[in-house]
Chain A
């Protein structure tokens, strides 16, 4: 059943796109592209749920030969393990909900069918990426989702900012992709294959590498990770993601929060078996630094979507940190929980933006229609003084970049107007902030924090203590800025009365997806992850505690496995209670057969390897504390107003400026890298025109002059009339084509033909 189901999952959205493409070419339009695409996605969802029970331990990939070059073959195929199965559900579920939401949100857009066709193409590419069993297939899906991202960010391409943003997104991620491609070339040259699984696959072959190859393997691992840096918007290639918010909000929810940007995390997790200490540490640091930098930038943003965008970057950093620190399950677990609550936050913000939309009549379907009202914030926003930018010049500068309906300084008090949106967004915020026990985000974030601390304690590694500190600090900031968003948007008094009056709750087609996602923000997926029988982290043969460094020994692997098994036994009270309490409901929800459910019940007793060790308890207590502090400060600053954000901003001016200017990444890239590239291009072109072509023309002219002088000499001195003719014929090649234009072409043609015939005859005669 595996192959037909996966094929169906892939083919449905592809067909939905193909129908649109073919009809457009014939200048026709399918009247209900929206239903078509949504139905395709729902079929995919059903198939994904069916696939959940098709998962077997250590599955074999299903492959077909794609290109065969004598000794080398490239194959394409599917690989279905538990991670694939869960990812399929996440992608199809979020995608389905976003499709449904878009029916309401994009209603009335001039390019409404095209939007759904692009969503379908995206879903196909993303699913292809997820099910591929080899690096080439992953790379193909990888680039195709990039294309869809480009098309959808630039969906309202009339807007210059959108046109810039889509180009930036494509190019920035391509820089990372080149790194990934070089990594692939390294692996291919060594192993003669790009397949990952099976006996001849990269993982099996890499396992037998010796110590001497570790540097090489680390470089290859980091290069592959470069692709993830680009796609998952990690520092330093993160700058495209905030700009990507120029796309319609459902796109931001699906592509730039829940699925595509998480593909980098997915890839890194897939490459888990070939990660070495060095490459793991690089990944962990990139993740940790990203988590911190993005969180600090998010504090000072006013654009509701930008806050969420930086929040996404920060959370992706968390996932990378988790995988880099060896917490495979935690990283992927956070990916799934994040997909649901972040999609919810984006769709919720979309609902808010949609509510403000009414004032711009019905549009050509764009959030950006509000551009001209951007100046309004000058009256309301700054006066309101919510951590207003310290220099008025900057405020205007950045203020004008924020469309009025996305500017949180225009919002406030919306909880009464939009109760469902408020309630669902609040649940997501509680989840992302790490409010304990009843929200999924708490569990996944805690798993990462615990994993990092565990590694730090186990290895006595300073790096991991530092990383734990960074992650903990970022967790506090996350709670702070997320509640800042909630307080500014939904609490307090309306700051812009005119806009507030127009606001309204969104239609059912939009609120139902919000409610579903809110339900998913409770820990319903935990059962899948907290289950040794379902998800088993792959072994990392080349990663071992520093004291063992340099020794490749099978006993270490077995030792690790044993430790995991032993560790599985005892359970801290709340975890058991919790994991067990939710085990039945989602099981039946996902339609897993009774036998599997029973088996899972058994495993529940020793679920989730992590939660027993002291590291996890410490991490849990600390994370609850920082989340509490974050929320408390947020409440004091933005609701209670006992503390003034403005005065804090003024007293920490340099730091504030750094955050406000997003660490000057964009300035550096635009001012240095882009400028340098364009300058170099001009230089090359000039060199081409003046030097290379100059030499060519010079030689040409010289030859002509010498020839002319020679002919002139010959003409004057040796012969007269007849040779004159010859010279003229020579010149005809050069400058007398004008004659041809007068209609003598046929003569020339015949001359050519006659010449050929003559030539043949002459040779014949010889």
Chain B
């Protein structure tokens, strides 16, 4: 008994002890002497890649190795900073931390430089910063032309993504959102596959179409935010105003229309059916690392926007689309359901490895929408966790597709066969990624999906039960792919296919570890944003 008691005490003390330790570090950082450093930290993280871009542009085109190394260094710095942020972020405190600004930027329109992070942002910042160096390493050997421009564009892209997740000013938010569009367009259009031009234009126009609506909605919000001299783009202020009774922003009709404008903008990014068709094309044509960024981060920009703007700023508009459509019931949940089932079935029919993964992304993002539409703690927590997990898992999947494409120069699932005996390590890692993606408990994919479903079942039973079809189909297409690519007798064409190399393993291992850690100990991530979730729930509750 004594031993048992001691053991229990140890277990119960050690884990919180570690957390408390981190919190102490966080408190230390609040020390005035550290304040400047703390204020600058976030900005530093965002703009270091931009500095890196300038550095790369100044290097001679011929010194390719140097360019790669410099890029790697400039993506590793944000990663280190993101880890520092993640550790020192005060988990128990509500609200935004590491706030910088507001500093006036464009005074004529009261546009400010205002950044800061809450639990949701810091999680996605970590994801973005982690995928940065991984993508650089993944691009080490297989970008053959214009490495300098590629790396420069990539660094610009990273600044856009990091800034987007930290922006607290709506205009700044929009600028960063658009900032990711241009480099992405060139990265697909120049370094992509045979149909790159088509894919790049499709991606560009689609997103542009969405962001134009978003821009209109944004201007509408700005114009309604107060008297001409008190108008603002400041997100926290706008959120507060939108919940103030009688304010123009709190008007239901206004919220419905503005909600729709933002929603379509983000829906294209997520992507939500029927705005999803750019995704398979873009993924198939994009080079491996860009697919990773696309699935890992860019899709999350859509769902992040939904949480940050649509849910927090327009709770009544949200309520209308969740309840106000009479027999249609919860239209947002319906979209989530369609994404899950439609994406899964489409994936089942694919024979292109990369296209299959792309459609599976559509299906898995459906769980995020379903969880968000539940508007309860299990649903929203599950959705946010699913964002992060999908970022990690889909990144793994695209890297793995890249590995085999670099060797066999095609992605036709039926064209392989029996690779399991030739490439055991590659097969093992792929199995891990597939299992994580199909929601095997013990790996991260499960927790997010299960929480989303548990939350959703509370609100809409039938849709949730029907959504579980997606889980079975998900297992079906992954296992079928596993069988066609890795099982059976070895295709004689690939008798001398080289095993996955150290560089490729290096890109996959951190993601694999995260998949396992978050599957076993999801609180590691959930504790980061549980306060933010309860804040959001308060906002939703207050305005109803």
Contact = CB atoms under 8 A, between A and B. Distances in A.
Q: Is the interface of B mostly helix, strand, loop or mixed?
A: helix
A709 interface: no
Contacts of A144: 440-442
Nearest to A4: B7
A244 to B, nearest CB: 15
Interface string A10-24: 000000000001001
B19 to A, nearest CB: 12
B479 to A, nearest CB: 5
Interface string A63-97: 01111111110000000000000000000000000
A4 B464 contact: no
B471 A174 contact: yes
Contacts of A182: 465, 468
Contact of A696 (B109, B277, B440): B277
B205 A700 contact: yes
Contacts of A158: 418, 421, 487-490
Contacts of B190: 737, 740-741, 745
Contacts, number: 197
Given A66-B523, A68-B523, A740 B186 contact: yes
Given A68-B530, A164-B483, A681-B345, A171 B57 contact: no
Interface stretch (A45-53, A387-395, A685-693): A685-693
Nearest to B509: A25
Contacts of B105: 763
Interface in B194-239: 196-197, 200-202, 204-206
Considering residues B276, B421, B450, B526, which has the most beta carbons from chain A within 10 angstroms of its beta carbon? B450
Interface string B387-424: 00000000000000000000000000000001011001
A189 B454 CA distance: 8
A693 B490 contact: no
A72 B425 contact: no
B26 interface: no
Interface string A722-766: 000000000001110110110101101100100010001001101
B97 interface: no
Nearest to A143: B441
A764 B106 contact: yes
A2 B1 CA distance: 9
Interface in B429-463: 431, 435, 440-442, 446-447, 450-451, 453-454, 457-458
A139 B441 contact: yes
Nearest to A674: B476
A70 B523 contact: no
Size category, B interface: 35 or more
Contact of B348 (A185, A678, A745): A678
A147 B439 CA distance: 11
B96 interface: no
Q: Is the interface of A mostly helix, strand, loop or mixed?
A: helix
A766 B111 CA distance: 12
A685 B350 contact: yes
Contacts of B205: 700
B486 interface: yes
B130 to A, nearest CB: 19
B3 interface: yes
B8 A3 contact: yes
Contacts of A27: 425
A3 B274 CA distance: 52
A69 B382 CA distance: 10
A670 interface: no
A738 B189 CA distance: 9
A441 interface: no
B441 A3 contact: no
Given A147-B440, A182-B465, A763-B108, A171 B457 contact: no
Given A143-B441, A182-B468, 8 more contacts: A25-B428, A69-B530, A139-B441, A157-B488, A181-B471, A677-B476, A681-B349, A688-B277
Interface of B: 1, 3-4, 7-8, 11-12, 57, 105-106, 108-109, 111, 145-146, 148-149, 152-153, 156, 179, 182-183, 186, 189-190, 196-197, 200-202, 204-206, 273-274, 276-278, 342, 345-346, 348-350, 377-378, 381, 418, 420-421, 424-425, 428, 431, 435, 440-442, 446-447, 450-451, 453-454, 457-458, 464-465, 468, 471-473, 475-476, 479-480, 482-483, 486-490, 505, 509, 522-523, 526-527, 530, 533-534, 537
28 contacts: A2-B4, A3-B7, A3-B8, A21-B428, A25-B509, A64-B11, A66-B523, A67-B447, A67-B523, A68-B523, A69-B526, A70-B377, A70-B533, A147-B435, A151-B431, A163-B487, A170-B479, A174-B471, A182-B468, A186-B457, A681-B345, A692-B274, A696-B278, A738-B197, A748-B186, A752-B156, A752-B183, A763-B109
Q: Which 4 residue pairs are nearest across A and B when measured between Cβ atoms?
A: A685-B349, A163-B487, A681-B348, A140-B441
